[in-house]
Amino acid sequence: MFGILFEGDRWMAQIGYNETVMDHFMNPRNVGVIENPDGYGKVGNPVCGDLMEIFINVKDDRIDDIKFRTFGCGSAIAVSSMVTEMAKGKTLDEAIKITRNDVAEKLGGLPPQKMHCSNLGADALHAAIKDYWVKIGKISLQEAAEEEEV
């Protein structure tokens, strides 16, 4: 089993994963589920099959706790881990401004064929924030469903 893992590490490095991405893949932060979260976001990519869920709890308009559950490749897991680290402790207005490129840059880049994973991480975070805002009446369901400009 360890031979397969080490072979996988070598393969992941060969396709362009850097040390930061590998660290967040091998040691993901904030993995799990928050029962009865204040906000919940779920996004997926039907082409690659990746699926990300982000759960947030909010206190004093800040992300007090954040967890993720991801079904996907190493990049998807690393992105989920990084976006939760980036958002934790931020106000909701600060966290909603975290972009797809911000996540990829904070990871030190992703291979071109894996950039779509950074889209999913930011999108799942934004969906969780918008879910919370709908619950408290800050925005309407229609506003929450509107596509973001990239």
- Residues with catalytic function: 48, 117
**Per-residue tokens: 42:** 């779920």
What is each CA distance from 4 to 12, 15, 17, 68, 119, in whole angstroms? Answer: 12, 16, 17, 26, 29
SS3 at position 88: coil
Burial class (CB in 10 A: 0-12, 13-18, 19+), 117: buried
Measured CA to CA, the distance from residue 83 to residue 26 in angstroms comes to 16
Chain-centroid distance of CA 24 in Å reads 12
Half-sphere exposure of 150 (CA within 13 A, CB side): 8
